[in-house]
Amino acid sequence: MKFYRLPLLFLLLNVGLASGLSAQGKTTTFTIANLAASAGEWKGTLTYLDYTSGKPYTMPANLMVAFTADKNGYILKHIYPDEPKANATDTTFFKDGNFGDEKVSDFDLKPSGEFTLITEQVGVDGNDNKPATLRHIYKLEGNSFLIKKEVKFKGSAIWIKRNEYLFTKEHKVAETDKSLYNKIAEMDSLLFCAYNTQDVAKMKTYFTTDLEWYQDNGGLLNFETVFTNFQSIFNRPDKLSRELVPATLEVIPIKGFGAIEIGKHRFKHYEDGKLQVGTFRFVMIWKNENDGWKVSRVISFDH
């Protein structure tokens, strides 16, 4: 698999990623301590597939993650605001390659503490208890924590999603900074709307002409080079799209100048009929000029 050579934080440059686990950064030794970054309180939703109707149903769901005193147990306290009788606490231990009753089939840990854990178990599922392989996917990315259960019935190659928890940790934003946070979030949305519609002329209006673009694997780029590369990419048949990873946006004011935007975003495109996905970190310095907010500096990394 390959990605276009794009010297920009928005683009997928020399990355070997698919929608599953990254080969780079994979760890062979899993311990409960590897899940430390998920500790704390999370708010979100549970979406599950109703066995009878075959339709999904979504409800509010919160989560508290902690560890046993000896750090060998992973405690998940599920809280359902609308159905408190369903609240439950589960403690899972890792032993002999198993996470609870399920075998750890894959694990990816990044230096940031983010992780993807996949566990599998052979059993039965459905109203008629058909033989099946069940798996759980635990994915921590930025301030987003996903826990998903899937099932594959014996004789089938298709994984069916049974339920999915999606949680976030909201960044605490001071009351005085909320208007700035909302403004930068709005500018980010406008900039990438132009990107996703491949409107180069519109994109240029969101950058200063003295732009400096620092890329971990592409060096330092100026305004002209950046937009020459944008146009080249937009001329290709396989369209890229960008989305901000939920709850990863941070905004820090710069007195008398503007603001710093920090976050993670995900890029997608189809290649040979297959969806390719990459997630990267970025920093943008926004300058508040007379004619509006514009990006003057970019740092693109984690490719």
> pLDDT means per 10 residues in the chain (303 residues)?
36 32 51 94 88 80 94 95 94 92 93 93 88 95 92 93 89 69 94 93 96 90 94 86 87 94 88 81 95 95 76
Long-range Cβ pairs for the range 186-192 (8 Å, 24+):
187/286, 187/293, 188/244, 188/249, 188/261, 188/263, 191/295, 192/10, 192/242, 192/243, 192/244, 192/265
| 40 and 65 Cβ atoms separated by less than 8 Å | yes
Q: Which residues pair with 266 in a beta bridge?
A: 243, 279
Q: How many CB atoms lie within 10 A of CB 155?
A: 8
Q: Kindly report the CATH number that applies to the domain delimited by 32-168.
A: 2.40.128.20
Q: pTM to 2 decimals? A: 0.55
Parse the chain into domains and list their residue ranges.
Answer: 32-168, 175-301
CB-neighbour burial class of residue 251 (10 A; exposed 0-12, middle 13-18, buried 19+):
buried
Q: Which residues pair with 144 in a beta bridge?
A: 141, 168
Strands 292-301 vs 207-215: parallel, antiparallel or unpaired: parallel
pLDDT, position 10: 41
Q: Kindly report the CATH number that applies to the domain delimited by 175-301.
A: 3.10.450.50
pLDDT, position 22: 37
Distance CA 153, CA 192 (A): 40
Report residue 291 as tokens: 């004619």
